[in-house]
Chains A and B, each alone.
Chain A
Amino acid sequence: MNPVPQSQPMAPSPKPESGGRYSGWRLMLEGFRGQRGWLPAWAKAAPRPRYRVVIVGGGGHGLATAYYLASQYGISDVAVLEKGPIGLGNVGRNTTIIRSNYFLPDNIRFYEYSLQLWEGLERQLNFNAMVSQRGALNLFHTEAQRDLFTRRANLMRLLGVDAEALGRDAVKALVPLLDLDNGRYPVLGGYLQRRGGTVRHDAVAWGYARAAAAAGVHIIEHCEVIGVRRNGQRVTGVDTTRGLIEADTVCLAVAGHSSQLAEMAGLTLPIETHVLQAFVSEPLKPVLDVVVTYAAGHFYISQSDKGGLVFGGAIDGYNTYAQRGTLPIAEEVAMEAVTLMPALARVKVLRQWGGVMDMSMDGSPIISRTPIDGLILNAGWCYGGFKAIPAGGMTTAHLIACNAPHPLAAHLDLDRFAAGRTLDERGAGPFPYAH
């Protein structure tokens, strides 16, 4: 077991076991003590010159990988390097949806594993991530969509994953806000995954960071990787803005910028970077207690516990590293919202933001070894990185620790493109902007 980080500017002597555990009892106790006993949730670390594993990227997947490496695979000599502060990247900039309703059996198994890990996550991390299995409802609007969704639901049920067909009346009862009789895109019904829902995304970053740090992982903020060191075909470490850090294994978990980091190691990836926008409305009284997706366009919406409607649509559609969206998609998303739920027409949008993502060539993620020994890739998450954080972290940790792919993520290897085993959920072909 690794010693607790030496440099702890914010916490003089945090002892995770005694000082860190959260409970109702402790909450009450601190209430009597004037809340003076709380310590920082996790200790900031200064980089050491060498680690067994360096994870580049302190987002959901990087932090989860570090946590599972320490907690499940007994490797705590791990550093997570983050360019800025943790929690400010895509892990805190998404629409917080979790679900496992996929089409390809290998993907169903992977995302179902993730959903099962979400179900036990708060207990395991001792952190309230507000995992809310409020249900995810996928509406369909044509007979062809009904067939496709039915086929998907049957595939899911064959693998033991829940999927429930709802007729129009049941959909209307579940979501009274919907306009089912829209002339152009009437709602014919929907498929409901009751175990789907939302999770408070910031808490996911903090929860994993806290649990990883308590297990001995160094989380190093404001440490940008500017080069990848190699000795022939073997990775030896990374150059950072805080100096050289050597490592046996380097894992890139920097979705949005995977191509940039891979280029430092001399690799070209099957990935383009695109921006995806999300929107939050002014807080409303409870009007929507389920995640709803709209299949006549590309639109998904839920209501946060603060009351804001959280929604989004398609990517802007062309390569960009600008972390801001443009208006055509904002207009399209607003049109979809009002078509589906006319009562929202006068709701004001409070915030809008954009995050850049790895759009892979087949629309599925990459958890893989690379042609460079010791360089591991966790990338290509497209729209779906958030829901996959627990499984992505666990399977990436497995790959690092065992130097062999986790059985549930073996299909996500980088070689699948050359081998013709692409995982194209939509059947859109090798066009990242079409997924």
Chain B
Amino acid sequence: MLRIKCPWCGERDETEFRYRGDASRSRPDASAGADEDAAMAAFISYVYERANPRGWHQEWWLHVGGCRRLLRLMRDTQSHEIRSVTAAMGR
């Protein structure tokens, strides 16, 4: 059982949260430049490719059973240690 320290609600069980995947990627800029192939490649990578690290992983967790805020976690995928929990947009 993971225990996640929500910045708003305090330490809660993982069952209150919904996992939302890798948070290290950012949406490519669709309007950038005229190179359609490069933009397409960037989007394919954004949608489908994952680093899938064995170790520290930046990930989204949605606190559906609590404050309903989206959180950004740094968690180890082998030990399950959680190093940081922050709001999606900082704080």
Q: Are B77 and A326 in contact (CB under 8 A)?
A: no
What count of chain B residues pass the 8 Å CB interface test?
24
Mark each residue of chain B from 34 to 77: 1 if its CB lies under 8 Å from any CB of chain A, else 0: 00000000001101111110100101000000000000000101
Q: Are B79 and A328 in contact (CB under 8 A)?
A: no
For residue B78, CB closer than 8 A to chain A, the reply is yes
Q: Are A319 and B57 in contact (CB under 8 A)?
A: yes
For residue A272, CB closer than 8 A to chain B, the reply is yes
**B51: which A residues are within 8 A, CB to CB?**
259, 263, 268
Q: Are A321 and B77 in contact (CB under 8 A)?
A: yes
**Contacts between the two chains (Cβ within 8 Å), count:** 71
6 smallest CB-CB distances across A and B, nearest first, come from A259-B52, A270-B48, A318-B19, A417-B48, A268-B49, A321-B54
CA gap between A326 and B50 in the complex, in Å: 24
| A/B interface sample: 29 pairs, CB < 8 A | A257-B54, A260-B52, A263-B51, A268-B49, A268-B51, A269-B52, A270-B49, A271-B50, A271-B52, A272-B21, A272-B50, A273-B52, A318-B2, A318-B14, A319-B59, A320-B77, A321-B77, A322-B78, A322-B79, A326-B14, A328-B14, A328-B15, A361-B47, A361-B48, A417-B47, A418-B44, A418-B48, A432-B21, A433-B19
If the complex has contacts A321-B77, A328-B15, are A430 and B57 also in contact, measured as CB distance less than 8 A? Answer: no
Majority secondary structure, B binding face: mixed
**B21: which A residues are within 8 A, CB to CB?**
272, 319, 431-433
Q: What residue of chain A has the Cβ atom nearest to residue B43's Cβ?
A: A418
Mark each residue of chain A from 313 to 325: 1 if its CB lies under 8 Å from any CB of chain B, else 0: 0000111111000
**A319: which B residues are within 8 A, CB to CB?**
21-22, 52, 57, 59, 77
For residue B9, CB closer than 8 A to chain A, the reply is no
Q: Are A430 and B47 in contact (CB under 8 A)?
A: yes
**A432: which B residues are within 8 A, CB to CB?**
21, 50
Chain A residues close to B by CB (< 8 Å): 257, 259-260, 263, 268-273, 317-322, 326-328, 361, 417-418, 430-433
- Pick the most buried of B1, B22, B48, B52: most chain A CB atoms within 10 A of its CB: B52
A273 → B minimal CB distance (Å): 6
**A317: which B residues are within 8 A, CB to CB?**
19
B43 → A minimal CB distance (Å): 10
- Given pairs A260-B54, A417-B47, A433-B19, 11 additional interface contacts (CB within 8 A): A257-B54, A259-B52, A268-B45, A268-B49, A318-B19, A318-B59, A319-B77, A320-B77, A322-B77, A322-B78, A432-B50
**A418: which B residues are within 8 A, CB to CB?**
44, 48
